[in-house]
Structure 1
Amino acid sequence: MDRYEALGLIETFGIVYVLEAADAMCKAADVELIGFENVASGYISVLVHGDVGACNTAVETGVKAVENMGAEVYSSVVIPRPHQDIEKIIERYSIENLRG
């Protein structure tokens, strides 16, 4: 797995809202969808990667998309130049591993 320039993550409640966030994120910036994870009790996180500026734009747009639907974003973050060991966690969320 290549090292990412940045990771962008959004966590909200419900698959409908996380799909709206993911769609908005991928349309707003040159980011690639890594995957998603049902964290607990309906909270779902979606992860993207790309350059720092693209991840910032994607996360901001994804948050607005969820809020425009009347839902709340539980948390969001952009991690520039994540440490290489973070890849051990990211692999678990990869869409490629879900197809498996």
Structure 2
Amino acid sequence: MEYFGEEALGLVETRGMVPAIEAADVMCKTADVILVSYENVGSGLVTVMVKGDVAAVRNAVEKGAAAAAAIGDLTAAHVMPRPVSRVGKIVSRHDIDE
């Protein structure tokens, strides 16, 4: 099975854009992670995705989720260490740089 490399994928989901932007800002300032994308899921839900090494992503998601919860509604936060390549392909379809 092929993996997303040695990187982890971190996701923070909020209700509304403002806490999502706060989470993204804190995640990028807290740890050496790359902001991959954000996605308006629907019903006001916004998911922010970051990638990097597992420890950095865990730290970033923890701090970003706390920051989002402090100013709005946090609905989910999750870290996926070394996701399979098919997950990586889904994520890259929403890449900010493309």
Partner of 2:19: 17
Provide the C-alpha distance between the structure 2 equivalents of 1:7 and 1:41, rounded to a whole number of angstroms: 23
How many residues are aligned here? 95
What is the identity percentage for the equivalent residue pairs of Structure 1 and Structure 2?
46
Give the gaps of 5 or more residues in structure 2.
none
TM-score, normalising length from structure 2? Answer: 0.91
Partner of 1:51: 53
For the 8 Å contact 2:19–2:73, the answer to whether it is kept is no
For the 8 Å contact 2:14–2:46, the answer to whether it is kept is yes
Paired residue for 1:34, among 36, 44, 53?
Answer: 36
For the 8 Å contact 2:37–2:48, the answer to whether it is kept is yes
Q: CA deviation at 1:51?
A: 0.3
TM-score, normalising length from structure 1? Answer: 0.89
Q: CA deviation at 1:4?
A: 5.1
For the 8 Å contact 2:36–2:51, the answer to whether it is kept is yes
> Runs (4+) of structure 1 moved beyond 4 Å?
none
CA offsets, 1:10-36, max 9 Å, x none? 000111110000000000000000010
Supply the RMSD in Å over aligned alpha carbons. 1.2
